Structure 1
Amino acid sequence: MKKAIVIGGGNGMGLAISLDLIGRGYMVAVLDIKAPEEGVLPEGSYSYEYIDLYYLDEERLAELAKDEDLEVLMITAGIGRVAEFELFKTYEIEKIMTINATSTIKILRLFYDRINSDRDFYAGVMGSISGWMSSPMTAVYASSKAAVCRLIESVNIELEVAGRANRILNVSPASFKGSRFYGGPNNMDLLSGPAGEITDRLFERETLYIPQYEETFKGVLERYHRDPHEYGLHSYQYKKDSGRAADKSRMRVGYLSGTFDLFHVGHLNLLKRAKEKCDYLIVGVHNNGKWKGKETFIPLDQRKQIVAACKYVDRVVDSCPEDADAWDLWHYDRLFVGSDYKGTERFNRYEEYFKDKGVEIIYFPYTKSTSSTAIRKAIHESAKREEQ
Structure 2
Amino acid sequence: MKNVLIIGGTSGLGWALANELANDDQIQNVYTVGRTLHTEVENPKINFFAHNLLMDNFNFSERFNDIDALFITIGAGRVAKFDNLSEKEINMEININYKAVATVLKQFYPRIQKSNDFKVAVISSIAGMINSPLFSVYGASKAAIMALIQSLNIELEKDGSNNRILDVRPGHIAGTRFANNKSIDTKPAQKVAVEIITAVQKKDQILIPGYEETYKAVIERNREDSHEFGINSYDYKIAGNRLTEKPQIKIGYMSGTFDLFHIGHLNMLKKAKQYCDYLVVGVHKDASHKNKTVFIPLEERMEIVRSVRYVDEVIVSLPEDSDVREIIPYNYLFVGSDYKGTERFQRYEEQFSKLDDVEIVYFPYTKSTSSTQLRSAISQDNK
TM-score range, shorter chain: 0.7 to 0.9
* Structure 2 match to 1:158: 155
In 2, distance between residues paired with 1:198 and 1:352?
45
Q: Determine whether 1:142 maps to 2:139.
A: yes
Which has the larger displacement, 169-178 or 232-241?
A: 232-241
Q: Secondary structure at the match of 1:170?
A: strand
The one-character-per-residue Cα deviations of 1:51-92 (angstroms, maximum 9, x if unpaired) are 33222453343332x32xx32111112222222223323222
Distance 1:205 1:155, change over 3 A: same
**Per-residue deviation at 1:247?**
1.4
For the Cα contact (< 8 Å) 2:52–2:275, is it kept in 1? no
The one-character-per-residue Cα deviations of 1:269-297 (angstroms, maximum 9, x if unpaired) are 65466556654320133466578776543
In 1, distance between residues paired with 2:340 and 2:51?
34
Q: In the alignment, residue 144 of structure 1 is paired with which amino acid?
A: S
Q: Residue 244 of structure 2 is aligned with which of 240, 243, 246?
A: 246
In 2, distance between residues paired with 1:125 and 1:278?
23
For the Cα contact (< 8 Å) 2:121–2:165, is it kept in 1? yes
Q: Determine whether 1:171 maps to 2:192.
A: no
**Per-residue deviation at 1:6?**
2.0
For the Cα contact (< 8 Å) 2:60–2:107, is it kept in 1? no
For the Cα contact (< 8 Å) 2:273–2:311, is it kept in 1? no
Q: In the alignment, residue 198 of structure 2 is paired with which amino acid?
A: D
* Structure 1 match to 2:70: 73
* Structure 1 match to 2:278: 280
For the Cα contact (< 8 Å) 1:257–1:285, is it kept in 2? yes
For the Cα contact (< 8 Å) 1:13–1:179, is it kept in 2? yes
Q: Secondary structure at the match of 2:54?
A: helix
Q: In the alignment, residue 25 of structure 1 is paired with which amino acid?
A: Q
**Per-residue deviation at 1:102?**
0.9
* Structure 1 match to 2:104: 107
In 1, distance between residues paired with 2:373 and 2:75?
45
In 2, distance between residues paired with 1:358 and 1:166?
46
**Per-residue deviation at 1:327?**
4.8
**Per-residue deviation at 1:176?**
1.8
* Structure 1 match to 2:379: 380
Q: Secondary structure at the match of 1:263?
A: coil
In 2, distance between residues paired with 1:46 and 1:321?
43
In 2, distance between residues paired with 1:361 and 1:24?
40
For the Cα contact (< 8 Å) 1:333–1:358, is it kept in 2? no
* Structure 2 match to 1:14: 14
**Per-residue deviation at 1:103?**
1.0
Distance 1:51 1:315, change over 3 A: closer
* Structure 1 match to 2:123: 126
**Per-residue deviation at 1:167?**
0.8
In 2, distance between residues paired with 1:366 and 1:58?
23
In 1, distance between residues paired with 2:49 and 2:340?
36
For the Cα contact (< 8 Å) 1:31–1:51, is it kept in 2? no
In 2, distance between residues paired with 1:263 and 1:254?
20
Q: Residue 311 of structure 2 is aligned with which of 299, 306, 314?
A: 314
In 1, distance between residues paired with 2:103 and 2:372?
43
Distance 1:175 1:27, change over 3 A: farther
In 1, distance between residues paired with 2:136 and 2:353?
33
Structure of greater Rg: 1
In 2, distance between residues paired with 1:175 and 1:5?
24
For the Cα contact (< 8 Å) 1:287–1:300, is it kept in 2? yes
Q: Determine whether 1:26 maps to 2:27.
A: yes
Distance 1:335 1:3, change over 3 A: closer
**Per-residue deviation at 1:249?**
2.2
For the Cα contact (< 8 Å) 1:5–1:73, is it kept in 2? yes
Q: Secondary structure at the match of 1:283?
A: strand
Distance 1:129 1:318, change over 3 A: same
TM-score by length of 2: 0.80
Q: Residue 198 of structure 2 is aligned with which of 178, 197, 200?
A: 200
Matched positions, count? 375
Distance 1:249 1:145, change over 3 A: same
TM-score by length of 1: 0.79
In 2, distance between residues paired with 1:58 and 1:254?
21
**Per-residue deviation at 1:192?**
3.3
What is the identity percentage for the equivalent residue pairs of Structure 1 and Structure 2?
A: 38
* Structure 2 match to 1:298: 296
Distance 1:170 1:367, change over 3 A: closer
Which has the larger displacement, 32-41 or 350-359?
A: 350-359
For the Cα contact (< 8 Å) 2:254–2:334, is it kept in 1? yes
In 2, distance between residues paired with 1:205 and 1:359?
42
In 2, distance between residues paired with 1:99 and 1:244?
22
Distance 1:376 1:131, change over 3 A: same
* Structure 1 match to 2:94: 97
In 2, distance between residues paired with 1:333 and 1:9?
22
In 1, distance between residues paired with 2:374 and 2:176?
52
Q: Determine whether 1:213 maps to 2:195.
A: no
Distance 1:24 1:236, change over 3 A: farther
